[in-house]
Amino acid sequence: MKVCVLTTGYPRFQGDLFGIFIYKLTKELVSEHVDVIVIAPDDPITQKEEIIEGIRIKRFQYFPFRAYQRLAYGSSGIMENIRTNILVIFQIPFFLISQFLAGLISTKDCDIIHANWIICGLVGIWIRFFREIPVVLTVHNTRLRDYPKWLSRFVIKNVDAVISPHPELTELVHRYGSKKLVEIPNLVIPDMGTSKQRDVVIKELNITSPIVISFIARLVDWKDPLTFVKAIPLILKKRDVNFLIVGDGPLMKEVKELVDNYSFNNKVKVLGMRRDIYDLLSITTIFTGLSTIENIWSSTVIEAVFHKACLILTDVGTTSKVFTHLQDAYLIEPQHENALAQAVLELIDNKDLRTNLSRKAHELLIRKGFVKKKIIGNTIYLYKELISI
């Protein structure tokens, strides 16, 4: 079986998080003797064609001047790139046409197309017109909020099957009229064997407290890094702990200015984009997911659980339909630094509660199907089912 994977982003170097869960899926598919070719956007720092761990990768150049490709990658991905520089919207037609041509050439002997995100689903439908092979679409992006409803509805109704990684998207896709809908979590389970020794990371970052509270996300409005920063002085007034802020985005300047204004005396590390997220999670005691929209299933939330961090999550979207307050996570109202500070202080002082929340969260993920063998098995089963029709 040969699968063509279409994506708007794919890791360009070790530690790159763009499309990391797609990389993990393709890696495991190859280990199960599935022939995989990935069609991903080009970036000047990458080779246009390469083979990594048995995965064939073709990166399509989507603008005549390679150095001026601005739509994909960057600090936060396509939609944030458009919001911060409206002119890159003019690269969208070039992107679609270039991925279509690259995919059309590469699917000559493929059995199935696996598209990721709505925009690639549209390209997959175009390719199917010529190749007559089934198209599977994995939907990402909470509430599909970055796409016009008419486009999402058209793509979802016209692909052969849709994979939804979590219940909120499952409900939405069902309303849009999918022909076949399967719920399979994204493969974001970390490879625990690749991390450095914990004490090495602590020394590198000059961590002075046994308690580390982390915010690891894109620095954008709906991830709400500013509430995290505003809660820090409330916590440091009462407890001596360390804080990590990891990520990049349009709010980076504001985050740095706010941290500098508070004068935290080296207790707060603003690290920007990092290639060693697993190492940072390995030293994290309390992980904060402060989205104003949805926390299910954030990749870093899941990875934090597998690294035995305790979760503080905002009660937004379907978060409370999955996580239970004081059972497997500490839930707080969004955009409320006082609530965040109170939650952190309570967890700092109650080690038993931290341990219990961490253990129960891990058990929850296992019950929800976050098991590598099951995710890969269900994905391959869907492929075979569609190919045999």
The pLDDT value recorded for residue 318 is: 86
User: Do 89 and 66 have their domain in common?
Assistant: yes
In our burial notation (b when 16+ CB lie closer than 10 A, e otherwise), range 5-34 reads bbbbbbbbeeebbbbbbbbbbbbbbbeeeb
Closest CA to 28 of 8, 1, 55, 9: 55
- pLDDT score for 260: 93
DSSP state of 325: B
**Structural domain tally of the chain?**
2
Q: What is the CATH number of the domain that holds 355?
A: 3.40.50.2000
Residues 213 and 318 in one domain: yes
Where in the chain does DSSP place strands (E)? 2-6, 35-41, 49-52, 55-60, 112-116, 135-138, 161-164, 181-183, 212-216, 242-246, 268-272, 286-289, 310-314, 330-332
**Is 150 exposed, middle or buried (CB count within 10 Å of its CB: 0-12, 13-18, 19+)?**
exposed
Residues 185 and 196 in one domain: no
| 146 and 29 co-located in one domain | yes
CB–CB of 269/245 below 8 Å? yes
Closest CA to 4 of 136, 199, 97, 117: 136
User: Is the Cβ–Cβ distance between 3 and 379 less than 8 Å?
Assistant: no
The pLDDT, as a whole number, for residue 191 is 64
Q: Which pTM value belongs to this model?
A: 0.84
- What is the pLDDT, as a whole number, of residue 133? 97
- Domain ranges, residue 37: 2-189+371-387
Sheet holding 35-41, edge to edge: 49-52, 55-60, 35-41, 2-6, 112-116, 135-138, 161-164, 181-183
Residues 204, 84, single domain; the answer is no
Same domain, 132 and 197: no
Length of the chain: 389
Tokens at 83, concatenated: 């919001």
Assess contact for 75 and 28: CB atoms under 8 A. no
pLDDT score for 348: 97
Same structural domain for residues 125 and 110? yes
> What is the rounded distance in angstroms from the CA atom of residue 336 to the CA atom of residue 199?
33
- According to DSSP, the β-strands at 49-52 and 310-314 are unpaired
User: CA nearest 384: which of 23, 34, 137?
Assistant: 34
In this prediction, residue 83 carries a pLDDT of 80
3-state SS of the chain: helix, strand, coil percent to 5? 45, 15, 35
pLDDT in tens, 30-85: 999 999 999 999 999 999 999 999 999 999 999 999 999 999 997 667 887 888 88
Shared domain for 174 and 247, answered yes or no, is no
Q: 39 CB contacts (<8 Å, ≥6 apart)?
A: 4, 5, 6, 7, 58, 60, 99, 102, 103, 106
Is the same domain home to 145 and 239? no
**In a shared domain, residues 36 and 160:** yes
Same domain, 200 and 154: no
Placement of tokens 């992006």 in the chain = 141
Q: What is the pLDDT of residues 222-266, one digit of tens each?
A: 999 999 999 999 999 999 999 999 998 889 999 999 999 998 878
pLDDT of residue 193: 52
C-alpha 357/C-alpha 325 separation (Å) is: 9
Report, as ranges of residue numbers, the positions in the chain whose pLDDT lies below 70.
75-76, 142-143, 191-195
Q: Same structural domain for residues 179 and 316?
A: no
